[in-house]
Amino acid sequence: MPRRRFMAAGAAIGLAPWVSAGAPAAQPRTLRIAPAAQKLVGAAHPATEVWAFEGRVPGPELRFRQGERLRVEVRNALPADTTVHWHGIRLPNAMDGVPHLTQAPIAARGGRFTYEFDLPDAGTYWYHPHLGSPEQVGRGLYGALIVEEREPPAVDRDVVWVLSDWRLDREARLVDDFGNPMDASHAGRIGNTVTVNGAIPDSFTVRAGERLRLRLINASNARIYAPVFEGVRTAIVALDGQPLAAPSEARLVLGPGMRADLILDCGNAPGSKHRVVDDFYRQRAYELLEIEYSREAPLRDSFAPVPRLPANPVAMPDLANAQRHRIVFGGGMMGALPRQDEHKGMFWTVNGRPVREHAHHEVLLDLKLRGSYVLELVNDTAWHHPVHLHGHVFRVLPRGHLADSVLLDPRSRAEVAFVADNPGGWMLHCHVLEHQASGMMATVRVS
């Protein structure tokens, strides 16, 4: 390339603000799922055998613009059947990736399936298998799916942190006791090693005066995160991909499957360091990583107000005339465990029944297309449950923010309202994957 043209191209890249970066880069047309090896815990330790999309954990970050169409062929080179679910996307039922409900499993060692659908909502989403999830997600199968707004807010950088945890032995090998009764009947598989984007991070470098959009995705089987950014101004602008009506500085708690978009205004001095501490499990708070300011002069001295994201086209339920349903989640240790003679290995119930993983013949709720519904979700157990609904987003009452999951604290309840505007059979389940696989899932039919 002639030097002048090269310079011009370089300058354009250097100066262009993020928002005018142009069309998203060409997206992969295939996602190959296969065993791989990855250094999770640093160069000094051996690589860990994982399962991965396209050879690394997390899988490729898929980025589209709102309204675009995703088309991806999944090629399964695992020794196990699989499917891919596009968590949080309002898509046609046949593309939802639920085995035995919306599609046949993608066969081990060579099966293929093409997913193709439009992306109606901007936001932070993710993809993961929906078959044998405790093991398949636990071995590393997940990736970010980002749908950019047609006019994204002005930020200097848009960064994704996929949070996950692993149960490793001293040689950095995965302990393969997936779905064991101890995990399944208690809090689920909580690992001993937390990674950000597939590696133990030590620091994350920012520049003073920089405004970041940070997208957090909890891809852990069971671990809940409550990251606190010490000394750095953060505002939550979206939960589960769906914009909040106003930026919030409330404590952020992310159950498995949940996402948050934050605006970080890096207002500290060049060269300073600030911890990000996860203190969800109060007695076991730990430093997730350190935010390290470079020595460069500040990019700006003050920040414009935190931007609001444009709302997604989600229908508003008619609360006054909505039909109500009460759904009780039960079971677990210190709770009403299902009888083990009849329901061996099942530890959890939905309205009194333990449902085997992907046994969809029993329908919990039959909903009318375009009807408005309020679900009262009751947690009658001693454990946390992030309850997730497929194919729809709901409003979490009473405040009414949109989400596709709601984290139920032990012995608590929540109400969610939505319009059943997507026909088909949809899963409602706990996203602690060991709970889902041992009884805490149900099928909702919209027709």
How many other β-carbons are positioned within 10 Å of the β-carbon of residue 69?
9
- The structure tokens listed for 385 are 């449950």
Instruction: Please give the size of the binding site for ligand C2O, defined by CB under 6 A.
Output: 10
Q: Could you say whether residue 189 binds ligand C2O (CB under 6 A)?
A: no
Structural contact between residues 350 and 378, judged by C-beta atoms closer than 8 angstroms: no
Q: Could you say whether residue 385 binds ligand C2O (CB under 6 A)?
A: no
Structural contact between residues 220 and 257, judged by C-beta atoms closer than 8 angstroms: no
Task: Choose which of 257, 317, 338, 439 interacts with ligand C2O (CB under 6 A).
Answer: 257
Q: In the range 290-349, which residues lie near ligand C2O by CB under 6 A?
A: none
> Shortest distance, CB of residue 135 to Cu ion, whole angstroms?
17
> Shortest distance, CB of residue 301 to ligand C2O, whole angstroms?
42
> Shortest distance, CB of residue 116 to ligand C2O, whole angstroms?
19
Structural contact between residues 406 and 386, judged by C-beta atoms closer than 8 angstroms: yes
Cβ-based burial of 17 (10 A; exposed 0-12, middle 13-18, buried ≥19): exposed
Maximal CA-CA distance, the chain:
78
Q: Could you say whether residue 388 binds ligand C2O (CB under 6 A)?
A: yes
Q: How many angstroms from the chain centroid is the CA of residue 120?
A: 18
Rank residues 213 and 259 by Cβ distance to ligand C2O and give the closer one. Answer: 259
Q: DSSP readout, 65-127?
A: ETT-EEEEEEEE-SSS-B--EEET----GGGS--BTTTBPPBPTTTEEEEEEEE--S-EEEEE
Q: Could you say whether residue 85 binds ligand C2O (CB under 6 A)?
A: yes
Which three-class secondary structure state does DSSP give residue 258? coil
Q: Are strands 441-446 and 363-367 parallel, antiparallel or unpaired?
A: parallel
Q: Could you say whether residue 385 binds Cu ion (CB under 5 A)?
A: yes
x/- string (CB under 5 A) for Cu ion, residues 409-438?
Answer: ---------------------x-x--x---
> Shortest distance, CB of residue 215 to Cu ion, whole angstroms?
24
> Shortest distance, CB of residue 96 to ligand C2O, whole angstroms?
8
Structural contact between residues 76 and 112, judged by C-beta atoms closer than 8 angstroms: yes
The partner in contact with residue 32, picked from Cu ion, ligand C2O, none with C-beta cut-offs of 5 to 8 angstroms by kind, is none
Rank residues 186 and 395 by Cβ distance to Cu ion and give the closer one. Answer: 186
Indicate the residue whose CB is closest to ligand C2O: 87
Rank residues 130 and 213 by Cβ distance to ligand C2O and give the closer one. Answer: 130
148 Rama sector, left if φ>0, alpha if ψ -120 to 50, beta otherwise: beta
Rank residues 114 and 180 by Cβ distance to Cu ion and give the closer one. Answer: 180
Q: In the range 427-446, which residues lie near ligand C2O by CB under 6 A?
A: 427, 429, 431
The partner in contact with residue 435, picked from ligand C2O, Cu ion, none with C-beta cut-offs of 5 to 8 angstroms by kind, is Cu ion
x/- string (CB under 6 A) for ligand C2O, residues 95-134?
Answer: ---------------------------------x-x----
- The structure tokens listed for 94 are 């046949």
Nearest to 160 by CA among 241, 230, 67, 89: 241
- The structure tokens listed for 272 are 């300073």
Q: Could you say whether residue 87 binds ligand C2O (CB under 6 A)?
A: yes
How many other β-carbons are positioned within 10 Å of the β-carbon of residue 190?
19
Which stretches of the chain bind Cu ion, using CB under 5 A? 385, 430, 432, 435
* Residues contributing to the site for ligand C2O (CB under 6 A): 85, 87, 128, 130, 257, 388, 390, 427, 429, 431
